[in-house]
Chain A
Amino acid sequence: AQKVTQAQTEISVVEKEDVTLDCVYETRDTTYYLFWYKQPPSGELVFLIRRNSFDEQNEISGRYSWNFQKSTSSFNFTITASQVVDSAVYFCALRLIYNQGGKLIFGQGTELSVKP
């Protein structure tokens, strides 16, 4: 069975702190994609990153960075120097390459609150 676990339900930090959101996934497939989405209070899910299972290179995009480790089935997301605008619910998701129709398997989400 495929599953995504985001153990942190809520995180609260003060602006400029660094914060890491954890994501652990389960699948027996060897080929798959992992995603992170941001959902601000407005409701729209914003795509942040896609990573395929053959590419374990870490990625950095501005204040955002992602650490993918197949050995621990984790795909963690770090925000450096957090800002109030980072406040949102963040979802990690898994998609199997050969899964019919491209169904995304979402984690339960982590609600991040960044206080000024």
Chain B
Amino acid sequence: DTEVTQTPKHLVMGMTNKKSLKCEQHMGHRAMYWYKQKAKKPPELMFVYSYEKLSINESVPSRFSPECPNSSLLNLHLHALQPEDSALYLCASSQGGTTYEQYFGPGTRLTVT
């Protein structure tokens, strides 16, 4: 089973709202990732968690706050977003270590109004 699930599929939020994106995997993977993807562009890495510790933050604005409650779950808390943050947010996971392929979820399509 190579499934990564993400909820919600679609999210519309105002600039003053607080919302969260959720990602879950049950493959025993120990690395989890958040990516942002704008239309017609490749995914851009935002955060990496390795063994439940934040290992990479690609200089993401503080209005995005990641959380890894356990090895199967990854959240992305959103607060005071801007319209330019509208994008597809993809979660991925991989086995521990940096050499393994990443498996992606279906993404959350976020619209900030």
List residues of A whose CB falls within 8 A of some B CB.
Answer: 33, 35, 37, 42-47, 50, 52, 91, 95, 97-104, 106-109
Contact = CB atoms under 8 A, between A and B. Distances in A.
A91 B104 CA distance: 13
B82 to A, nearest CB: 22
Contact of A109 (B42, B94, B101): B42
A102 B102 contact: yes
Contact of B99 (A43, A45, A97, A109): A97
B81 interface: no
B56 A100 contact: yes
A43 B88 contact: yes
A12 B101 CA distance: 28
Interface string B90-111: 1010100111111111110100
Interface in B61-109: 88, 90, 92, 94, 97-107, 109
B42 A102 contact: no
Nearest to A35: B101
B56 to A, nearest CB: 4
11 contacts: A43-B88, A45-B43, A45-B90, A97-B99, A100-B55, A101-B48, A102-B98, A102-B100, A103-B45, A104-B102, A108-B42
Contacts of A100: 55-56, 98
Given A42-B106, A45-B104, A106 B42 contact: yes
B25 interface: no
Most B CB atoms within 10 A — which of A42, A106, A108? A106
Given A100-B55, A104-B45, A50 B101 contact: yes
A52 B94 CA distance: 16
B98 A101 contact: yes
B71 to A, nearest CB: 16
A108 B41 contact: yes
Contact of B31 (A98, A102, A106): A102
Nearest to B4: A44
B101 A47 contact: yes
Nearest to B50: A101
